[in-house]
Amino acid sequence: MTERILFTNARLLDPASGIDRAGELLAENGVIAALGPTLSQDGLGADVRVVDCAGCCLAPGLTDMRVQLREPGDEHQETLATGAEAAIAGGITTMAMLPNTVPTIDDHALVEFVSRRSREIGRTAIRTYAAATKGLHGHELTEYGLLAEAGAVAFTDGLRAIADAVVMRRALSYASTFDLLVVQHPEEPSLSAGGAMNAGEIATRLGLAGITPAAETIMVERDLRLVEITGGRYHAAHVSTAGAIDAIRRAKARGLDVTCDTAPHYFALNETAVGEYRTFAKVSPPLRSEEDRRAVIDGLRDGTIDAIASDHSPQDQESKRLPFASAEPGIVGLETLLPLSLELYHNGSLSLLQVVRAVSQRPAEILRLPGGRLKPGAPADLAIFDLDRPWRIDVAALRSKCKNAPYDGRPVQGKVTRTVIAGRTVFGLEP
């Protein structure tokens, strides 16, 4: 039986086509059938179910290209099911999880396990990266072709840099034979070893070992040289420094197949958020200087930074309530990805379509996933949000199992009111 749903009274946002206008969208059997200013006036029939969007923005569902979900192995911190619930509350209809689970996702059976569990949960689509090297040890490459065939979206060693230049060259060359993407954690490990926060005056005052911004820049610049040699597809994750962003900007100008993303904490916070040893503000790479924070915004504005990912990293109390140097890095971010990104619109740094492009269209394109666009034939995966609704982030109310975030009480504007997957409402708030 054909299921037809008309989303009416909406502000349609589609950065791929430049659409930003009032209108309606018709979903039929899980895909977008039509969109336009006055579909309901064309006599769609009595079998159409109507959803009134109450003037809210209707955009392609968010694609979060960097999350940690801890299953299998550390389900006390997060599971695929709890992560999916948090994701749909944030308007995320697709997410890609890192392979740093226990055991590591370096075998096709584990890639298939994630796909099967995603279907069983039936909420947001959960895809996974596969490890670039076996066991994430940085030495022996995994079977890229078999893992991609099983459903891996790209290859990365997660929180670890592929530090050996010979291994990275082989990874890029091997991946290029299958036209696959290699994702790097851009941090030169010998320069970051033992560091707890950004190197500088604040680290010195707090007596904490610093991580120089050059650790990121050096790794990115080395990798870009290897991309030139191999012709591989390369993505730098969570870039946070002016030097790395400038290197990627120049590489793109030379025509290299290079992309990158950042996370909200690198434009919403700077190193002062560490305050008096606030471990909830400890991340990897660390929060940077105000100059670097502004460089991240500039990179988003000019398109050097392609995407914004939540970098969702759940940590339990026992991992965070420790001396700063001993605490685990990471911030949960599935439910705060959109409102923190919308700050860039509300403060005039980016246009609304630029924000939507960074959290929806571009990550889907980089990972070659369906979605990210409002066009006939595309999946009816939608995020509907009230652009101007004010609220305060209540960390205790987040749906993630862990509550490690430094945003408690932060005022934001923009609230997801409905999340739709394949035409089906999976999350909704009362107006």
The tokens for 318 are 């026992």
- 188: helix, strand or coil: coil
Distances in whole angstroms, Cα of residue 376 to Cα of each of 58, 351, 393? 15, 25, 35
Contact 369, 127 (CB under 8 A): yes
Catalytic residue among 64, 311, 381, 386: 311
Measured in whole angstroms, the distance separating CA 177 from the mean position of its chain's CA atoms is 26
CB-facing half-sphere around the CA of 114: CA atoms within 13 A:
36
- 252: helix, strand or coil: helix
Edge-first strand order for the sheet with 181-184 is 130-131, 155-156, 181-184, 233-236, 258-262, 307-308
Task: Tell me 329's DSSP state.
Answer: P
Number of Cβ within 10 Å of residue 78's Cβ equals: 26
- Which residues pair with residue 411 across a beta bridge? 392
The stretches of 38-185 forming alpha helices (DSSP H) are 80-89, 108-121, 144-150, 165-177
- 259: helix, strand or coil: strand
Give dist(CA 319, CA 89) in Å, integer.
25
Contact 358, 62 (CB under 8 A): no
Say if residue 384 is exposed, middle or buried (CB neighbours under 10 Å; 0-12, 13-18, 19+): buried
Q: Is position 106 annotated as part of the catalytic site?
A: no
Where is 417: in which H helix or E strand? strand 411-421
Task: Tell me 379's DSSP state.
Answer: B
Give dist(CA 33, CA 323) in Å, integer.
55
Contact 217, 241 (CB under 8 A): yes
Task: Show the CA angle centred on residue 263, arms to residues 157 and 137, nearest 5°.
Answer: 10
Give dist(CA 8, CA 6) in Å, integer.
6
**Catalytic sites, residue numbers:** 311
